[in-house]
């Protein structure tokens, strides 16, 4: 089997480290591996599969002889360095939001629209974590009966804000238990024992940046420019795995029984829907793996051709790192590199 030279841009962050882990788990056929990060991290060592790698400073000259770049860097870094990687001959799979809505850049969830990767011009975008979780859960339902409208509430773990989000929840719980004041840095307010109904800045209509992603990205991935989404995003004091309450309105009725039948065989999905025995998706069960758990499936009693469900997924893995590695696997399978 042919092997490929890989670079991870942003290798020291939570998603970059998870990408490394998943490359190993899935036995991705790599040859050389280059770990790139900021100047601050350059010179440090990371171990992967028994070998130590020295982290290099990411510059425009970092991509010679690289076939695939997995980008786990922030928008400004991706915007600055992804074109340089493409110019050097690499394909960039970008986890930032920098190129997601660029009409020339495929936005891909492999289980949903993996064939879109064939249209890349050097960059393929990884969708937002909540978008990946929702659309993986909904894909088979959408194929059976086109989804026209979605009403969604997301309950997003602190790790969605990176390592600092996890540290802040830990520290606040400790301080509160000891009767000490809490420090607030990563979030707008105390997150321990609280929920915060804001992720990102608000627009003129009162919607946050995070809330608009599901509509904008969902339209592109589902190839449905008329898809309407009303979304509320909430940060919750959970370490890992995002949860979503989703109501869909479809062109024809999907009964709960039919939905369960479709989801039982859906790629990337695990049906966990036995409320009589208190079995339903929860963040604790979905963390550390790549399936999207779906349950609490029921008819929307307030509207026709409308269905309600609940899903959970690990936003660091399937919502970011695993999805990116899966895109790389599509490139290998289809000889697109």
Give the active site residues: 129, 242
Tokens for 44, please give them.
């440090």
Q: How far is CA 330 from CA 111, 123, 135, 254, 337, in A?
A: 10, 14, 18, 31, 10
Please, are residues 55 and 41 in contact by the beta-carbon 8 Å criterion? yes
Query: What count of Cα atoms within 13 Å lies in the side-chain half-sphere of residue 146?
Result: 10
CA distance 223 to 244: 22
> Rounded distance, CA 17 to CA 8, Å?
9
d(CA 81, CA 122): 12
Specify the long-range contacts of residues 72-77, CB closer than 8 Å, at least 24 apart: 72/8, 72/9, 72/10, 72/11, 72/13, 72/15, 72/16, 72/19, 72/320, 72/321, 72/324, 73/9, 73/10, 73/13, 74/10, 77/9, 77/10
Residue found by looking up tokens 């970092």 in the block: 62
Residues 6+ apart with CB under 8 A from 165: 158, 159, 186, 187, 191
Backbone angles phi, psi at 95, to 5 degrees: -85, -10
């Amino acid at each position: 089997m042919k092997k490929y030279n890989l670079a991870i841009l942003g290798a020291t962050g939570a998603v970059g480290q998870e990408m490394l882990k998943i490359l190993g788990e899935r036995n991705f056929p790599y040859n050389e591996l280059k770990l790139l990060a900021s100047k601050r991290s350059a010179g440090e060592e990371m171990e992967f599969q028994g070998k130590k790698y020295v982290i290099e400073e990411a510059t425009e000259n970092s991509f010679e002889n690289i076939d695939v770049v997995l980008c786990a860097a922030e928008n400004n870094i991706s915007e600055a360095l992804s074109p340089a990687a493409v110019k050097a001959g690499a394909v960039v799979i970008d986890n930032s939001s920098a190129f997601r809505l660029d009409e020339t850049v495929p936005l891909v969830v492999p289980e949903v629209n993996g064939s879109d990767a064939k249209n890349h011009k050097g960059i393929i975008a990884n969708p937002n974590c909540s978008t990946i979780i929702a659309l993986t859960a909904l894909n088979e339902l959408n194929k059976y009966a086109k989804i026209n409208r979605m009403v969604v509430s997301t309950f997003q773990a602190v790790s969605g804000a990176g390592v600092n989000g996890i540290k802040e929840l830990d520290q606040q719980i400790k301080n509160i238990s000891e009767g000490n004041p809490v420090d607030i840095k990563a979030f707008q307010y105390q997150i321990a024992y609280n929920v915060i109904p804001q992720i990102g800045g608000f627009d003129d209509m009162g919607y946050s940046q995070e809330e608009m992603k599901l509509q904008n990205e969902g339209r592109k991935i589902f190839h449905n420019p008329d898809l309407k989404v009303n979304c509320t995003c909430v940060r919750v004091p959970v370490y890992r795995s995002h949860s979503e309450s989703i109501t869909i309105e479809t062109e024809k009725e999907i009964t709960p029984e039919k939905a369960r039948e479709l989801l039982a065989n859906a790629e990337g999905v695990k049906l966990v829907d036995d409320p009589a025995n208190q079995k339903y998706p929860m963040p604790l069960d979905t963390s550390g793996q790549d399936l999207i758990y779906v349950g609490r499936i029921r008819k929307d009693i307030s509207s026709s051709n409308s269905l309600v469900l609940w899903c959970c997924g690990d936003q660091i893995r399937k919502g970011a790192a695993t999805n990116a590695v899966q895109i790389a696997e599509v490139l290998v399978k289809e000889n697109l590199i």
